[in-house]
Amino acid sequence: MTSIGIFGAAGRMGRAIAQAAAEAGIAISGGTDRDGSGELAPGIAIGSDPVALAQISDVLIDFSVPAALSSHLDACVAVGKPILIGTTGLESEHHALIDKAAQAIAVLQTGNTSLGVNLLAALVEQAAARLGDDWDIEIVEMHHRHKVDAPSGTALLLGEAAARGRGIALAEHSERGRDGITGARAKGAIGFAALRGGSVAGDHQVIFATEGERIEIGHRAENRVIFARGAVKGAQWLSAQPAGRYDMKAVLGL
């Protein structure tokens, strides 16, 4: 049986993953969090030593914070254990760390672990590839009031899918945070809008708009269980993979 260790175990996603693993009959080896106190489940303590957790786990799942990623990757590399990273708000330096770690261990990094969202990303890529740049692309996302990063990791995942379909680099063609006199929309740009409020688990809509018509495709998450189940499935798959960098498309065969 694959045993899963959870970085960021005291957070809402960490506890949801523990519950999803229990429902699937999968063992949780333990968890870590910044405070290193409390229990993840009866008899399973939350510690603060990532290396100790990696040593007793077959695969690790990280839904913590970007600042902790480096130490978590170092721990997994030190003991040769794979890691699934669902932490959002990552910057270019974090992706460079992931690329380096993936030379030694299997690493799956994704902005969203749900099956529905990853199917949506595949559809967005296909649509972007078939529609010309006279079709404007806008991505609208809404999350609960406590979310600290924007755009969401899922919105960026969808933006990357659209950029791949267009054969462009998202970083060079994204428009965010429009306010005031911004001028006309740049042709070929991929726009983002972030909404925050209430307890929304995650709503995402991708709009393709041209003169006289629009195509709108989207996904609504009703609770975090879908992400937790996807993370557990991804971790099980990752535990059998050689060193390299992977995403949820590989898990789902997309």
Tokens of 71: 């130490």
* Residue 219 annotated among the catalytic residues of the structure: no
Contact between residue 32 and residue 49 where contact means Cβ atoms under 8 Å apart: yes
Sign of the torsion angle spanned by Cα atoms 244, 246, 251, 252: negative
Q: Which residues contact 165 (CB under 8 A, 6 or more apart)?
A: 124, 125, 126, 127, 128, 129, 130
* Catalytic residue selected from 72, 81, 94, 143: 143
Tally of residues, the chain: 254
Task: Determine the Cα–Cα distance for residues 47 and 39; give it in Å rounded to an integer.
Answer: 9
* Residue 143 annotated among the catalytic residues of the structure: yes
> Would you list which residues are annotated within the binding site for NADP(+)?
34
> Would you list which residues are annotated within the binding site?
8-13, 33-34, 86-88, 110-113, 144, 153-154
Which residue carries 């041209």 as its tokens?
210
Contact between residue 231 and residue 84 where contact means Cβ atoms under 8 Å apart: yes
> Would you list which residues are annotated within the binding site for (S)-2,3,4,5-tetrahydrodipicolinate?
144, 153-154
> Would you list which residues are annotated within the binding site for NAD(+)?
8-13, 33, 86-88, 110-113
CA dihedral 194, 109, 57, 40 (to 10 degrees): 0
What 45-53 contacts at long range (C-beta under 8 Å, 24+ apart), as own/partner pairs, is 46/9, 46/10, 50/7, 50/74, 50/75, 51/75, 51/78, 51/79, 53/5, 53/7, 53/29
Give catalytic residue positions. 143, 147
